[in-house]
Amino acid sequence: MSTVVVVGAQWGDEGKGKVVDYLAAGFDIIARYQGGHNAGHTVVLDERKFILQLIPSGILRPGKWAVIGSGVVLDPAALLDEMAALEKSGVEVAGRLFISNRAHLIFPYHRELERAAEAALGASKIGTTARGIGPTYEDKMGRRGLRTCDLMEADRFEKKLSALLEHKTALARALYGKAGLDTPRLVEQYKHYAERLRPFITDVAALLAEARRAGKSTLCEGAQGTMLDVDHGTYPFVTSSNATAGGACTGLGIPPAAVSAVLGVTKAYATRVGSGPFATEITGPQADLLRERGSEYGAVTGRPRRCGWLDLMVLRYSAMLNGISSLVVTKLDVLDQLAEIPVCTGYRYKGTPLKEMPPEAEVLEGVEPDYVTRPGWKASTRGFADYEQLPARARDYLKFVADQVGVEIGLISTGPQRQETILLPNSQLTPLLVS
């Protein structure tokens, strides 16, 4: 029995969807602990591509349970669409999907308020997806949010939503000059959602506790990545929740002592979506090469991702924050054509080496990366499933990263398919996946 947390060790988009799908074979339950439908996890099975936004990618493994925790903010319309798409593709959802009765609900006014707030920021905008994620978390922390449990009793829900809409209408008019909201229509719409979601809503913390007592194993997945964590990321250019490993405990109701290991997922290079500091960002032909070879476009938004070299300052910071037991390196094959590969080993600010990650975005914007250049391997690694098959210089690159971060590399992804994966035989991962 084990409880393992998978975290993004960079800014998200590290390939957690493929990694979780691969690892799910060794677990009974796959549980999502934070974020909303602003993050897309892409999984490729043979010729089919699945883009999952709310439902854990473990749902694609027959017989596994998929859990959505209280740390997730839920757009019922988006969730129902995702469920319908899976069912249409032959993936059974009923009886396998469980939704926390404490998860907060996204409403249309959350999206409208987010769009208006972003527009008001002008050049200082955060670069959100305008899906209402941030305003929903604001309501949660302001103790005025509505949750899935509120959907279960129609009259009580109507009273709560009507009172909340009075507040939102006044806010929208005062701040952004927006018109009032159609309360009766919204109430009826969400009552319809309630009936469809009722069979899936349960006490997730109790469900997972009972599963642990029964000896079942749980794989916990988050959205985004460590550098977008609301407390520890490049604030204010962050998401609205805790994407770090601690978020699994609060977002699922799992005691910290139950966590067996934390796996950190990193690309062999780096990407970022939206605004904010990105010390190793590059532009021009090399950025274009990484973007095209890595298909670096948002799974949900289609936005081109900013690309750059691997940042070991970020990985060391992620390892410290999350207590990473083992690293998973994805998209190694994207680097196959390069003769030389720069790697950032640290930062300088105004000529002074930095020992810690600066909290201020303004400082991070002004840091100068220290690079070392590693020799490329100029050979294909696509689809390899055996570590010894990798070119010697590719193995040297991975060893350099592991030595610099001080954490083993236990898993390597060499392509989007499940079988395009290398599990290192002596990794700490091995016993966890067969327990």
Q: Active-site positions? A: 13, 41
Element at 65 (helix H, strand E): strand 65-68
Helix 76-88 / helix 183-197 crossing angle, nearest 10 deg? 40
The enclosing H or E element of 266 equals: strand 261-267
**Is-contact 239 230, C-beta < 8 A?**
yes
Longest dimension (CA), the chain: 67
Q: Tell me whether the omega of the peptide bond preceding residue 236 falls within 30 degrees of 0, making it cis.
A: yes
Q: Is 366 exposed, middle or buried (0-12, 13-18, 19+ CB in 10 A)?
A: middle
What is the length of the chain? 435
* DSSP element (H, E) containing 330: strand 326-330
Crossing angle (nearest 10°) for helices 312-322 and 392-405: 50
Residue 370 backbone dihedrals phi, psi, to 5 degrees: -95, 125
Angle between helices 154-176 and 108-121 in degrees, nearest 10? 20
User: How many C-beta neighbours within 10 Å does residue 131 have?
Assistant: 23
Backbone angles phi, psi at 363, to 5 degrees: -70, -45
Distance CA(413)–CA(415), nearest Å, equals 6
- Do 246 and 9 meet the contact criterion of CB atoms below 8 Å apart? no
198 phi/psi in degrees, rounded to 5: -50, -45
Give, as one character, the DSSP assignment of residue 297: B
d(CA 409, CA 226) in angstroms, rounded, equals: 18
Q: Are 61 and 25 in contact (CB under 8 A)?
A: yes
Give the Cα separation of 212 and 216 in Å (integer): 5
Instruction: Tell me the C-alpha to C-alpha distance, in Å, between residue 16 and each of 60, 148, 366.
Output: 14, 26, 30
Four-CA torsion 289, 291, 294, 298, nearest 10 degrees = -170
